[in-house]
């Protein structure tokens, strides 16, 4: 019996595959196509206290092996989420990571309080990394003291696992991992999208209404893997890695670099039935490598020089 379960602090999930926030609606949109209980978790679309309309379209544009988005965190707000979406997620036995976003620390705290009282929430992912909104979010994620303040403030009001989602748009992401750990985070997730832009040269206009957006997809994967690797050296808390995962090998790459679990986002747009394919690939790998527990692979990167074997023999 192959064991794909992984542990994130106090939370054990059946496999390391979590649907990434912003890429899976509120989960219920996919409930007819995917058995939500078979996923490692569902990170729902980022929620503010209030409803938000987000940016005017066009909101996405494709780039080679990737896409830019500037949705602007359109959302139904935490109260409607609890009323309208959470009951179905509970009924479908989904493991729910609620991604929360505020413009002030008080808003994060308020969101954490409200969601801690709601039945069916398994973890809080703190969105301090969305590149597409004017106030809040990334302004905390780009400052070490801001990150520390938000994480510790939320930590103080909830017993749910607290998972800040880090931005790659900083000089040294590992220092933000460290600040999160010191502030009491149970885990970290990374990376959010890379701030980017695309221009229509005929009209000389930006292809997105918001001018800039976040780059995701396979194009960013090597950078994301490197960042997960750097964070693994810096902290002991679990890491949820993401960035362009589309195949089982990509999941394994992140785990070997140091991730305990992963999130899949853009690839779900291309293939909503990706989850079984990824799970099959992971099982196949475990069988070939005679592994019983997938979690054993986390952080097992072998950095010994390849040629030593040649020399010693």
CB of 62 to another protein, least distance (A): 5
Dihedral sign, Cα of residue 251, residue 252, residue 257, residue 260:
positive
φ/ψ of 69, rounded to 5, equals -130, 145
CB of 252 to another protein, least distance (A): 19
CB of 63 to another protein, least distance (A): 8
The answer to whether residues 222 and 198 touch, using CB atoms and an 8 Å cutoff, is no
Surface-to-core class of residue 287, CB atoms within 10 Å of its CB (0-12 exposed, 13-18 middle, 19+ buried): exposed
45: tokens are 């679309």
Active site residue 231: no
CB of 269 to another protein, least distance (A): 4
Region for residue 119 given its phi and psi (left: phi exceeds 0; alpha: psi -120 to 50; beta: otherwise): beta
Which one of the listed residues 23, 101, 130, 231 is annotated catalytic? Answer: 130
Surface-to-core class of residue 2, CB atoms within 10 Å of its CB (0-12 exposed, 13-18 middle, 19+ buried): middle
CB nearer to another protein: give 90 or 277.
Answer: 277
CB nearer to another protein: give 14 or 58.
Answer: 58
CB nearer to another protein: give 23 or 262.
Answer: 23
The answer to whether residues 228 and 241 touch, using CB atoms and an 8 Å cutoff, is yes
SS (H, E, C) 1-31: CCECCEEECCEEECCCEEECCCCCCCCHHHC
CB nearer to another protein: give 161 or 213.
Answer: 213
Residue 168, Cα to own-chain centre: how many angstroms?
Answer: 12
Q: In the complex, which residues of this chain contact another protein (CB under 8 A)? A: 22-25, 29-30, 32-33, 45, 53-54, 56-62, 64-67, 69, 71, 74, 217-218, 266, 268-273
CB nearer to another protein: give 84 or 271.
Answer: 271
CB of 22 to another protein, least distance (A): 8
The residues annotated as belonging to the active site are 130
């Amino acid at each position: 019996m192959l064991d794909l379960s992984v542990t994130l602090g106090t939370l054990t999930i059946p496999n390391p595959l979590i649907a990434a926030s912003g890429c899976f609606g509120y989960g219920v949109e996919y409930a007819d196509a995917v058995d939500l209980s078979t996923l490692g978790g569902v990170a729902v679309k980022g929620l503010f206290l209030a409803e938000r309309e987000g940016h005017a379209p066009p909101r996405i544009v494709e780039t080679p092996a990737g896409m830019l988005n500037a949705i602007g965190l359109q959302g139904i707000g935490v109260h409607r989420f609890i009323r309208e979406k959470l009951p179905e997620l509970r009924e479908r036995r989904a493991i729910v990571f609620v991604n929360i976003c505020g413009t002030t620390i008080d808003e994060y705290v308020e969101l954490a309080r409200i969601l801690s009282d709601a039945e069916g929430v398994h973890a809080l992912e703190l969105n301090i990394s969305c590149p597409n909104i004017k106030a809040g979010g990334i302004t905390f994620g780009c400052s070490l003291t801001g990150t520390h303040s938000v994480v510790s403030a939320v930590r103080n009001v909830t017993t749910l696992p607290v998972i800040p989602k880090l931005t790659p748009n900083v000089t040294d992401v590992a220092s933000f991992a460290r600040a999160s750990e010191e502030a009491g985070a149970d885990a970290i997730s990374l990376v959010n999208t890379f701030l980017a832009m695309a221009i229509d040269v005929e009209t000389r206009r930006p292809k997105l209404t918001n001018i800039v957006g976040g780059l995701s997809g396979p194009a960013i994967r090597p950078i994301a893997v490197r960042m997960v690797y750097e964070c693994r050296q810096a902290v002991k808390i679990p890491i949820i890695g993401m960035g362009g995962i589309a195949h089982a090998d990509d999941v394994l790459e992140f785990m070997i670099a140091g991730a305990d679990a992963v999130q899949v986002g853009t690839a779900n747009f291309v293939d909503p039935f990706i989850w079984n394919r990824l799970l099959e690939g992971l099982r196949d790998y475990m069988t070939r490598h005679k592994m019983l527990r997938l979690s054993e692979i986390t952080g097992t990167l072998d950095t010994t020089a390849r040629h030593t074997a040649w020399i010693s023999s």
